[in-house]
């Protein structure tokens, strides 16, 4: 069986892509390591940006806000395309049944940080959940074919053209190949390198990016990682920006406000980090918004705070800290979302379409996954048309099967779970809201050591049946591969811009660094360079 379009990842980006590829008449398969509705997209609370009427807000200011936040690293054409398509995307989501919140007969909108006007459409504080489930329901209606619990190992590429991908069938630990004329990687971001210091789902291990890197793709702007200012102190579970958008205060234990709550995320995160470094505790205070308002508009935030922090925000301020939240960097794609490998596309948080640049505006990534997801699906379906893939057993599949067999016999002398925890801690400390050359280089040498030790690690569970120990080990391998690209990029960028703040180079330096950091592999060795921003 050879598919026209293989979509890897079943979050909002993957489902949007699959639906539009199918609409173009393509034979589509969506493969994912979990089940579609378990994707991280379900976690988005705040909203999805779109200017629905030019009454007070304008598409022009959506473009401006996005560009401002991007600190020079967004591609203006991409930003314009996405902002202009935004109203259509909301209309489409509405037409397939998304239960958006309403106000006076219209889709309700609220203001998120960094935005000029109330522009984020929402579905109470379950925006991502409701969009994802509606996309899933619609996919069932359209007869989209799913392959769940299948873990992407590698992309199959010959003569710089994609032929399909290899997967680990999680239920059996068998390696299989799936062939397709076009492939779309939509596997989400890599914030989970920060593990307990990240708001993300445990699935956000960047598998698609490292597979792409190994397949010859370029990764770009990997050092740009957005920290969300308001994650719960104990668990890093996110308290959405909607809380600040609605007028929530940030205070320390003395009850003092210390920052304008509606500044961009990186500015607010740094201000909070400073307070904590000073020995203060930081809280999000929404008590003054009132019971009725909170119950109607922020029930999810209240519930999370009670369950995970033991604090009822109606009565007490919520203890918080900044945590890794969104990864701007990704698989480098052109304006059609194609990677440097032919017929291989990437979209959503795993890709760098240059929409967010050095910092993402809240509410723009749900928008990206729908608008660019659809665009990627359409383009992939088109390029599948002229393409042929030979129906044979590919070398890569055999190599991967052998690799998996090998992992079962790794000696397991070093515990990778301990290393994974350690990695997350040194990343939060040294590759967090503040960075500086010495620290970055130190972490790089630790990461390289971990890469060398990988084959001394391995798994304790030797059963081929649904082996999550094996899955977590492969995910760890992917994360230390990506960790190197993040560090090399962060070390090269001797300036501060957007989410990347270098204590030793606190100024933005457009002369040298109005450029994308690009990393790729040659014969297994990581290379890095800068590429001037086109505009």
Partner 1 sequence: MKIEIRRYHPHFEPKSIFMSYEIPEGLTLLEALEHIKSKLDSTLTFSKGCRSGVCGSCAVRVNEKEVLACEYRVKDGDKIEALKASEVVRDLIVDMKKPLETLKKAKSYLLEQNIVSMDEEDEKMTKKQSDCILCSSCYSSCPVFETNPDFLGPFALTRNYRYVVDKRETKKKEKIEAILQNGIWDCTLCGNCTEVCPQGIDPKTDIMMLQSWATKFGYQNPNIANFGSFGLDF
Ligand X SMILES: Cc1cc2nc3c(=O)[nH]c(=O)nc-3n(C[C@H](O)[C@H](O)[C@H](O)COP(=O)(O)OP(=O)(O)OC[C@H]3O[C@@H](n4cnc5c(N)ncnc54)[C@H](O)[C@@H]3O)c2cc1C
Active centre residues (catalytic): 265
Q: What are 282's strand-pairing partners?
A: 252
> What's the CA gap between 499 and 225, in Å, rounded?
6
The Cα 522–Cα 218 span in angstroms is: 11
248 vs 363 by CB, closer to ligand X? 363
State the minimum distance, in angstroms, from the CB of residue 310 to partner 1.
10
> What would the x/- binding string for partner 1 be over residues 60 to 99, using CB under 8 A?
-------------------------------x--xxxx-x
Beta pairing, strands 174-185 & 2-8? parallel
207 binds, among partner 1, ligand X, none (CB under 5 to 8 A by kind): ligand X
188-227: which residues touch partner 1 (CB under 8 A)?
201-203
Q: Under the criterion CB under 8 A, does residue 476 sit at the interface with partner 1?
A: no
Report the distance separating Cα 322 and Cα 197, nearest Å: 8
Provide, rounded to whole angstroms, the least separation between the CB of residue 78 and ligand X.
Answer: 16
Say how far apart CA 220 and CA 333 lie, in whole Å: 9
| Positions that interact with ligand X (CB under 6 A) | 8-14, 31-34, 39-41, 43-48, 127-128, 151-152, 186-188, 199-200, 203-204, 207-208, 238, 326, 348-349, 362-366, 369
**Closer to partner 1 by Cβ: residue 428 or 513:** 428
Query: Could you tell me which stretch among 12-20, 46-54, 457-465, 481-489 binds partner 1 (CB under 8 A)?
Result: 457-465
- Find the shortest distance in angstroms from Cβ 35 to partner 1: 6
Residue 284 β-bridge partners: 250, 318
Instruction: Look up residue 443 and give its two tokens.
Output: 């972490």
Integer Cα distance of 474 and 482 in angstroms: 13
Q: How crowded is residue 491: how many other Cβ atoms within 10 Å of its Cβ? A: 18
Identify which of residues 145 and 531 has a Cβ nearer to ligand X in the complex: 145
CB of 442 to ligand X, least distance (A): 28
Identify which of 492, 533, 526 has the alpha carbon closest to the alpha carbon of residue 223. 492
Q: Identify which range of 56-64, 127-135, 152-160, 322-330 contacts partner 1 by CB under 8 A.
A: 127-135
Tell me which DSSP letter residue 361 carries.
Answer: P
- Considering only residues 411 to 450 of the shown chain, the ones binding partner 1 according to CB under 8 A are 417, 421
Quote the least distance from Cβ 37 to partner 1, whole Å. 5
- For residues 157 and 216, the answer to whether their CB atoms sit within 8 Å is yes
CB-CB contact of 312 with 472 (8 Å):
no
For residues 21 and 95, the answer to whether their CB atoms sit within 8 Å is no
Q: Which of 467, 485, 489, 517 binds partner 1 (CB under 8 A)?
A: 467
Contact 460, 468 (CB under 8 A): no
CA distance 76 to 82: 10
Assess 238 for contact with partner 1 (CB under 8 A).
Answer: yes
**Angle (nearest 5°) at CA 353 between 179 and 41:** 75
Closer residue to partner 1, CB minimum distance, 232 or 259: 232
- Which listed residue (25, 77, 88, 140) binds partner 1 by CB under 8 A? 140
The CB-of-418 to partner 1 minimum distance in angstroms stands at 8
**Closest to ligand X by CB, 396 or 502:** 396
> Rounded distance, CA 4 to CA 384, Å?
6
CB of 240 to partner 1, least distance (A): 11
Contacts of 68 (CB under 8 A, 6+ apart): 114
Closest to partner 1 by CB, 131 or 219: 131
Q: Residue 467 CB, nearest distance to partner 1 (Å)?
A: 8
Q: Number of H helices and number of E strands within the chain? A: 15, 21
Per CB under 8 A, contacts with partner 1 among 152-171 are 171
d(CA 370, CA 275): 37
Minimum CB distance to ligand X smaller for 275 or for 368: 368
Q: Phi/psi of residue 77, each to 5°?
A: -70, -40
| Distance of alpha carbon 438 from alpha carbon 322, whole angstroms | 22
Count, residues near partner 1 per rule CB under 8 A: 55
DSSP character for 248? P
CB nearer ligand X, residue 239 or residue 446: 239
Positions touching partner 1 (CB under 8 A) are: 34-35, 37-40, 42-43, 91, 94-97, 99-106, 123-124, 126, 128-130, 133, 137-138, 140-141, 148, 171, 201-203, 235, 237-238, 303-304, 307-308, 417, 421, 459-461, 463, 465-469
């Amino acid at each position: 069986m050879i598919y026209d379009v293989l979509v890897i990842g079943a979050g909002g980006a993957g489902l949007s892509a699959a639906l539009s590829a199918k609409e173009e008449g393509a034979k589509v398969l969506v493969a994912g390591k979990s089940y579609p509705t378990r994707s991280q997209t379900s976690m988005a609370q705040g909203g999805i940006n779109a200017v629905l009427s030019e009454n007070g807000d304008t598409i022009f200011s959506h473009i401006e806000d996005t560009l401002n936040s991007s600190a020079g690293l967004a591609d203006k054409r991409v930003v314009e395309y996405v902002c202009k398509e935004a109203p259509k995307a909301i209309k489409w989501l509405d037409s397939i049944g998304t239960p958006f919140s309403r106000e006076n007969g219209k889709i309700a909108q609220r203001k998120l940080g960094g935005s000029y006007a109330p522009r984020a459409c929402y579905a109470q504080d379950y925006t991502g959940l409701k969009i994802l489930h509606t996309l899933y329901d619609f996919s069932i209606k359209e007869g989209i074919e799913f392959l769940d619990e299948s873990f992407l190992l590698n992309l199959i590429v010959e003569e710089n053209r994609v032929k399909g991908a290899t997967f680990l069938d999680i239920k059996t630990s068998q390696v299989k190949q799936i062939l397709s004329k076009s492939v779309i990687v939509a596997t989400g971001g890599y914030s989970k390198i920060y593990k307990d210091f990240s708001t993300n789902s445990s699935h956000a291990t960047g598998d698609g990016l490292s597979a792409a890197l190994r397949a010859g793709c370029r990764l770009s702007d990997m050092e740009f990682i957005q920290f969300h200012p308001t994650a719960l102190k104990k668990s890093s579970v996110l308290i959405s920006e909607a809380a600040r958008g609605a007028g929530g205060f940030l205070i320390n234990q003395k009850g003092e406000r210390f920052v304008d709550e509606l500044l961009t995320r990186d500015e607010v995160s740094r201000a909070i980090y400073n307070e904590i470094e000073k020995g203060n505790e930081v809280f999000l205070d929404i008590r003054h918004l009132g019971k009725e308002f909170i119950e109607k508009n922020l029930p999810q935030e209240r519930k999370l705070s009670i369950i995970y922090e033991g604090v009822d925000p109606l009565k007490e301020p919520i203890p918080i800290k900044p945590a890794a939240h969104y990864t701007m960097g990704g698989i480098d794609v052109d304006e059609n979302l194609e990677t440097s490998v032919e017929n291989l596309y990437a979209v959503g948080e795993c890709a760098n379409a240059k929409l967010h640049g050095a910092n993402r505006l809240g509410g723009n990534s749900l928008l990206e996954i729908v608008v660019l997801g659809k665009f990627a699906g359409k383009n992939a379906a088109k390029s599948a048309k002229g393409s042929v893939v030979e129906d044979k057993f590919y070398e890569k599949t055999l190599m991967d099967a052998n690799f998996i067999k090998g992992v079962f016999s790794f000696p397991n002398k070093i515990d990778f779970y301990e290393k994974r925890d350690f990695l997350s801690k040194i990343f939060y400390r040294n590759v967090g809201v503040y960075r500086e050359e010495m620290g970055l280089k130190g972490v790089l040498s630790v990461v390289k050591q971990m890469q060398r030790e990988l084959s001394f690690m391995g798994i304790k569970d030797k059963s081929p049946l649904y082996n999550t120990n094996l899955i977590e080990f492969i995910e760890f391998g992917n994360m230390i591969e990506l960790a190197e690209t993040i560090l090399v990029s962060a070390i090269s960028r001797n300036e501060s811009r957007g989410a990347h703040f270098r204590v030793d180079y606190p100024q933005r330096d457009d002369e040298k660094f109005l450029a994308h950091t690009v990393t790729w592999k040659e014969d297994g060795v990581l290379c890095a360079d800068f590429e001037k921003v086109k505009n």
